[in-house]
Amino acid sequence: METLQLLNQPYTVTAAHIDFYKTNRYITLKQVLNADLLAYFNRVISKKVEELNQQDIPLEDRSTYGKAFLQLFNLWQQDEDIKELVFSKRLAKIAADLMQVEGVRLYHDQALFKEGGGGITPWHADQHYWPLATDKTITAWIPLQETPLNMGPLEFSAGSHQILEGRELSIGDDSEVLIEKRLKVTDFKHVIAPFDVGEISFHSGWVFHRAGANKTAETRKVMTVIYMDKNMILKKPENEGQINDWNTWCPGAEIGKIINTPLNPVLY
């Protein structure tokens, strides 16, 4: 399919991009994908989410986490077309360039669909859940449509990867309150902006981020791909989430060795 060719064409990451990411541990890049490609994946991923979604609790009766989004993982294993996006060399090279590593592996992918009327995604740091030995991790956050402020785009505390307090918190009501309180007494800039069609953000595992509620009637559809340094070592898990992630996303990997399993292929 001609539309998919862009997925393997290089995107120019500049020295300024790399410097910005190094300082802030997030960056948003415009025109990474085009409107046709996003419209295509919007259809394909939406169909797969609808097919696999097992959430039957009404929105108003769910927990804060449950109200934040419908979450489905490793769709690359479920659909060959979605695999084309997740395995995109264009995206993987951006990830490698920003982190300044030779190559990247897949950690896992996830669809994050915030339904119309869906609640906030509380402040958190992703790597709380990951049994990974270094901070050479990055998530591509790919909105499948234009995402204005009232739809709940991703928000960042720029440079907050330097804060250790709050890293121990799982995502939820406590993380929203306690991390926000901690961030308010720092000089880290709170960044929130709409996403244009084709604009993608990349953020590190330890930078604190959140998303607002979806105040529209439309679902905010986002696909994410989590990358790690291709030489990432599995560390001894420090909490239940990390034990679960080890068993789920890198089964068979050994503590102290490079994570090299069939679920973690080198993408670039």
The mean pLDDT of 215-242, rounded to a whole number, is 98
Q: Rounded distance, CA 107 to CA 104, Å?
A: 9
More confident residue, 103 or 54: 103
In a domain, residue 31? The reply is yes
Q: At what angle do helices 15-24 and 89-99 cross, to 10 degrees?
A: 70
Residue 258 pLDDT greater than 70, yes or no = yes
Pairing assessment for the beta strands 121-124 and 70-73 based on DSSP bridges: unpaired
Residue 1 pLDDT greater than 70, yes or no = no
In a domain, residue 57? The reply is yes
Q: Which pLDDT does position 64 carry in this prediction?
A: 76
Half-sphere exposure of 147 (CA within 13 A, CB side): 33
Tell me the pLDDT tens digit for each residue of 63-103: 877 766 799 999 999 999 999 999 999 999 999 999 999 99
Indicate the number of domains in the chain.
1
Place of tokens 């802030």: 24
Tokens representing 54 are 């097992």
In a domain, residue 168? The reply is no
Work out the percent of the chain whose per-residue pLDDT is above 90: 89
Tell me the pLDDT tens digit for each residue of 24-45: 999 999 999 999 999 999 999 9
Q: Which pLDDT does position 67 carry in this prediction?
A: 65
In a domain, residue 112? The reply is yes
Work out the percent of the chain whose per-residue pLDDT is above 70: 99
The CATH number linked to 151 is 2.60.120.620
Question: Residues 155, 209: contact at Cβ < 8 Å?
Answer: yes
In a domain, residue 240? The reply is no
Please state whether the predicted TM-score (pTM) of the whole model is above 0.75: yes
Place of tokens 């993982």: 73
Pairing assessment for the beta strands 26-29 and 200-204 based on DSSP bridges: antiparallel
In a domain, residue 183? The reply is no
Q: What is the span of the domain harbouring residue 224? A: 2-121+135-156+192-231
What mean pLDDT is reported for the chain? 95
DSSP notation for 121-187: EEEE-GGGG--BSSS-EEEEEEESS-B-GGG--EEEETTGGG--TTTTPPSSHHHHHHHHHHHHTS-
The mean pLDDT of 124-128, rounded to a whole number, is 97
State how far the alpha carbon of 117 is from the alpha carbons of 27, 171, 215, 218, 223, in Å: 27, 19, 5, 8, 19
In a domain, residue 226? The reply is yes
Q: Rounded to a whole number, what is the distance in angstroms from the first to the last CA of the chain? A: 21
Tell me the pLDDT tens digit for each residue of 191-218: 999 999 999 999 999 999 999 999 999 9
Find the helix or strand (DSSP H, E) in which 108 lies: strand 104-114
In a domain, residue 180? The reply is no
All residues at 6 or more sequence positions from 243 whose CB lies less than 8 Å from its CB, including other chains: 131, 237
Q: Rounded distance, CA 175 to CA 68, Å?
A: 14
